Amino acid sequence: MDFFCRLVRRDEDMATDTKEYGSQYWLRLAVNYAPGIIYREIIKAVDDAKDQQIEWLSPLPPDFTEYRDQAFLDKLRLTLPRMQLENFWPKGGPVWDALARTAKGHVFLCEAKAHIPEVNSPKSGASSKSLRRIAASLNETRAFLNADPIVDWTRTFFQYTNRIAHLYFLREINGIDAYLINVYFLNDTTMHGPTSVSEWKGALTLLKTHLGVTRTKLSPFMKDIFIDIEELKKARTSRST
């Protein structure tokens, strides 16, 4: 009965979201209405996730909070044995679209996109003091990956590069079994989003080539998954009837 009540409240909370488009909305829908769909795509990409239950920690009703800084580590129940986040990145770091973990301690940091212009994020807007810390951590990450040092990661595709840096921080510095899951949605026509996986992959190939991260030490832990929003809509409809 408690489980049924939670589902009813979750449906009511989703029904209050009148903006039924965009990556934030579709990811909420996937996590809360159709976890089987996103689980299916994750286990295709991540061998460690197979035969494990994924516990979604955000975004959840009633407020669908997205977490950043120490709060995202606390939400994932992570203890950092070697370096604290404040020594790697200043406050105001990435806001994670979704967070999840398995019973065996694998954690998933999720970033969602529904149209290609979302990938072309602006440069860092940090203060000069914070920017120095950010640049140092990005340069450390880039050196570890043997990426082209000519490209300034604080200015080019900054949202993408700062997520890679946090994956490096968790996996390489602190030994956490972390994965960066980039969720790309298909057929969000309201946002003029891609209608095929090949369209997304074409744009992502350009991004990764420009940054020099097409094949790196972290590539096995950076996964792109693709979800058709029409499938999510069907799941929502079936849950509502």
Supply the pLDDT for residue 3.
31
Q: Please check whether residue 210 is in contact with residue 159, taking contact to mean a CB–CB distance below 8 angstroms.
A: no
Using CA atoms of 197, 202, 208, 212 in order, give the dihedral in degrees to the nearest 10: 140
pLDDT score of 20? 85
| Nearest of 119, 118, 117, 114 to residue 29 by alpha carbon | 114
Evaluate whether 54 touches 35 at the Cβ level (below 8 Å).
yes
pLDDT at 167: 98
CA distance 200 to 115: 9
Checking if the pLDDT of 5 tops 50, the result is no
Query: In whole numbers, what is the pLDDT of the chain averaged over residues?
Result: 91
Predicted confidence (pLDDT) per residue in 124-145, tens digit: 988 989 999 999 999 999 999 9
Dig out the tokens for 227 from the structure.
Answer: 């979800």
Residue 12 pLDDT > 90, yes or no? no
Q: What is the pLDDT of residues 156-208, one digit of tens each?
A: 999 999 999 999 999 999 999 999 999 999 999 999 999 999 999 999 999 99
Domain holding 189, by residue range, is 2-240
**In DSSP terms, which residues pair with 113 in a beta bridge?**
184
Q: How confident is the model at residue 17 (pLDDT cuts 50, 70, 90)?
A: low
* Residue type (1 letter), 11: D
Cβ count within 10 A of residue 117: 12
Distance of CA 80 to the CA centre of its chain: 20
Quote the pLDDT of residue 204. Answer: 97
If one counts the domains in the chain, the total is 1
What single DSSP character describes residue 63? T
For residue 63, is pLDDT > 80? Answer: yes
In this predicted structure, what is the pLDDT of residue 149?
83
Q: Which two tokens stand for residue 121?
A: 């994020």
